[in-house]
Amino acid sequence: MVMRKVGKYEVGRTIGEGTFAKVKFAQNTETGESVAMKVLDRQTVLKHKMVEQIKREISIMKLVRHPNVVRLHEVLASRCKIYIILEFVTGGELFDKIVHQGRLNENDSRKYFQQLMDGVDYCHSKGVSHRDLKPENLLLDSLDNLKISDFGLSALPQQVREDGLLHTTCGTPNYVAPEVLNDKGYDGAVADIWSCGVILFVLMAGFLPFDEADLNTLYSKIREADFTCPPWFSSGAKTLITNILDPNPLTRIRMKGIRDDEWFKKNYVPVRMYDDEDINLDDVEAAFDDSKEQFVKEQREVKDVGPSLMNAFELISLSQGLNLSALFDRRQDHVKRQTRFTSKKPARDIINRMETAAKSMGFGVGTRNYKMRLEAASECRISQHLAVAIEVYEVAPSLFMIEVRKAAGDTLEYHKFYKSFCTRLKDIIWTTAVDKDEVKTLTPSVVKNK
């Protein structure tokens, strides 16, 4: 069991991870507020020459303080780590909701689109282009409000060249604007609007407007705006989407035109803005300064006595509001990249059974204490090198929660893995039988490119 504290934050379980960072659940011990702590290794950042990119991402998130954007609280640093303290958003990704439900109804789609445009419009007013807008980067809070996240590819006005355009080709293929593909420069704000149009289409259709396995064919369809709206789209939605997915950036509808659109304005609730606050970037520079007086105090206590004990605050953070049923019903959790089940078996037995199950599925297994990492073996036919992280937590005497999350690879493949994995473990799972609907077979195209 590891007890860890960084400055005023008590650090808990890992809630996400990527190539260069892990995201931990943490609690501000002074205020009791829950936060998400993004942890980066200093040496890795330096080795991959990512300092300026990370500084830019942090600066942008400080700059765009808006109710529909994930808030950055502060940046801390130690001798070995950079800690980015973010708003803890409990409702999961909009992506998961689409995979779970399929297409959303028109009113729900419009609500999310209105909130998306509010957040994007504010970013653009600050000179920030997101450049990677997609449902995977849109989170939902406990009140079902949308929050834009992941500004890693975002651009500031300083990145615009003499011609007034951006030139870096980036983004996710299915959501990227045609002018970005043409390699002749593009207006970041206008390209963002195209991505928002693709998102609106996906919300209402349950599948992508442009989706081809071959990239050349995909790019050709994007450049020609070769798509068809499903028959259940209303005429107002069709018109707006067609005006947004205009392949010519010069004639594409702008933000004002979207806001003036009759379909968009229906049931629109103006966002309540935050109070103005001075933006201070001193801690951004300090985080990358090697002076020891800037370093945050770290405390770490390791006791190898069993799995980490999950406290009540962390338990509640796993659920929607105070509805704790989500903790013990996998059916409510079946579409997330972070899934969980419970068991009354001894912790060591749970680990042994999971190792056996993973190896039988062709995964390489690494185990340390009560944490595991599964890597798809080279001969295993799993796309994008699926990797899975697992940790066992004690939530009560003789009751353990096993948290499983995708560390790398394709999300649809992860869903398939989780269903198969749980089937192999059904004799140790303390809950209902594996739900037959656990992995929805909604059009796979929705979950590509993740």
Residues 119 and 260 in one domain: yes
Tell me the CA distances in angstroms from 223 to 132, 200, 216, 419, one per residue in order: 18, 19, 11, 38
- 234 and 375 housed in the same domain: no
List pLDDT tens digits, range 397-408: 788 888 888 887
* 209 and 234 share one domain: yes
What is the number of domains present in the chain?
A: 3
278 as an active site residue: the answer is no
Is 70 exceeded by the pLDDT of residue 311?
no
Residue 210 lies in a domain: yes
Integer distance in angstroms from the first to the last C-alpha of the chain?
32
333-360: pLDDT as tens digits = 333 456 788 888 888 899 999 999 999 9
Do 144 and 10 fall into the same domain?
no
Please tell me which residue in 96, 118, 121, 132 is annotated as part of the active site: 132
Q: What is the pLDDT of residues 159-173, one digit of tens each?
A: 888 888 998 888 889
Q: Is a pLDDT exceeding 60 seen at residue 237?
A: yes
Whether residue 100 sits in one domain with residue 80: no
Q: Can you give the CATH number for the domain in which 172 is found?
A: 1.10.510.10
> Within this chain, do residues 328 and 260 fall inside the same structural domain, yes or no?
no
What would the two tokens of residue 156 be?
A: 């500031």
Q: How confident is the model at residue 95 (pLDDT cuts 50, 70, 90)?
A: confident
Contact predicate 91/318, CB 8 Å: no
259 and 326 fall within a common domain? no
- For residue 109, the 8-state DSSP code is H
Hey, what are 49's tokens?
């020459």
Q: 391 or 315, which is more confident?
A: 391
In-domain check, residue 377: yes
Amino acid at 327: L
Work out whether strand 371-376 and strand 387-396 pair parallel, antiparallel, or are unpaired: antiparallel
Which of 280, 302, 324 is the last residue before a domain boundary? 302
| Inside any domain, residue 196 | yes
Query: Is 439 domain-assigned?
Result: no
Answer yes or no: is 148 within a domain: yes
Assigned domain for 146 exists: yes
Nearest-angstrom CA–CA distance, 147 and 128: 16
Which amino acid does the sequence have at 147? K
pTM for this structure?
0.73
pLDDT tier at 317, thresholds 50, 70, 90: low
DSSP tag of 71: P
Domain shared by 296 and 227, yes or no? no
Co-location of 29 and 164 in the same domain: no
Contact at 8 Å (CB) between 329 and 383?
no
Report the sign of the C-alpha dihedral through residues 56, 62, 65, 70, in that order. positive
Which of the listed ranges 86-90, 310-314, 373-377 does the model predict with the highest average pLDDT?
Answer: 86-90
Rounded to whole angstroms, the maximal C-alpha distance in the chain is 65
The answer to whether residues 255 and 316 belong to one domain is no
Write the DSSP symbol of residue 134.
S
The yes-or-no verdict on residue 318 having pLDDT over 90 is no
Those residues whose C-beta lies under 8 Å from the C-beta of residue 290, and which sit 6 or more positions away, are none
- The string of DSSP letters for 397-424 reads TTEEEEEEEEEES-HHHHHHHHHHHHHH
Nearest to 64 by CA among 284, 273, 286, 282: 273
Position 445 scores a pLDDT of 38
Provide the strand spans (E) within 199-316: 298-302, 308-309
Whole-number Å distance between alpha carbons of 360 and 423: 12
Residue 47 is labelled as binding a ligand = yes
Read off φ and ψ for residue 210, nearest 5 degrees: -125, 115
Convert 63-75 to b/e letters by CB count within 10 Å (16 or more is b). bbbbbbbbbbbbb
Q: Based on the fold, state whether residues 136 and 57 are members of the same structural domain.
A: no
The predicted pLDDT at position 290 comes to 65
Q: Is the pLDDT of residue 10 over 80?
A: yes
Kindly tell me if the per-residue pLDDT of 179 is higher than 70.
yes
Residue 182, in any domain of the structure:
yes
- Residue 213: what pLDDT? 82
pLDDT at 126: 92
Q: What is the pLDDT of residue 301?
A: 61
**Does the structure show a pLDDT above 50 at 442?**
no
Give the pLDDT confidence of 263-292 residue by residue, as tens digits: 999 999 998 887 766 677 766 777 777 665
Q: Range of 54's domain? A: 2-89+290-302
Would 65 be classed as within a structural domain? yes
Q: Could you read off the pLDDT of 126-141 as tens digits, one per residue?
A: 999 999 999 989 999 9
Region of poorest pLDDT, from 182-191, 192-201, 333-342: 333-342
Q: Please give the Cα distance from 25 to 79 (Å, whole number).
A: 21
